[in-house]
Amino acid sequence: GCNLIIRSFTPIGTILLVAHGPSVDALTRQLCGGTPRTPEDFMYKLQQIPYLACLQIIEQSINSDSNGSVNSSSSSTGNTSNKSWKFGGSPIPPLTHASNSAFDIKLLSPNSSYIISTFSSDR
C-alpha cells in the first residue's frame, strides 16, 4: 500500500494522498505502526471520520540521539526500512457540517486506548 507509493517518490518532498474518509485510516494505520482494524472497529471509525478530514503523517528516522528522541529523516534514498511514521496532526482544521461530529485525530492513532464495546460479540 503506502510503502509502495513512498518508494515510488524517492525525492525529498511532500506526498499528498486524497482518499475517501475510511481510506485515511486504512492508508495510514499500518504505516504508523498499528495493526489492521477488525471489521467492527473499522465500521465504527468510519462513522467518526468527517467528510473532509485532513491528516498529516511525518516521516522520521528510527535512529535516536543521545537523549532518546527520534530524529527527523532527510534522506532521499527512498529506503523506508530505517524510517517510521508518526501522526503530525492536521495542517488545516477539519471541514465538517451539522451531521458530522468534530474530528479528533487521536481516534485514528495506532496507540489509541479506545476499546469497542458496542460491537463486542462476547457481551
Domain ranges of the chain: 2-63+70-108
> Cβ distance 93 to 100 under 8 Å?
no
State pLDDT tens for residues 71-86. Answer: 444 344 445 456 788 8
61 C-beta neighbours (distance < 10 Å), count: 14
4 C-beta neighbours (distance < 10 Å), count: 8
Q: Rounded to whole angstroms, how far apart are CA atoms 83 and 72?
A: 9
Provide the grid cell at 83. Answer: 524510517
The pLDDT of residue 61 is 75
Q: Rounded to whole angstroms, how far apart are CA atoms 34 and 123?
A: 25
State pLDDT tens for residues 35-65. Answer: 888 988 888 877 777 767 777 888 887 664 4
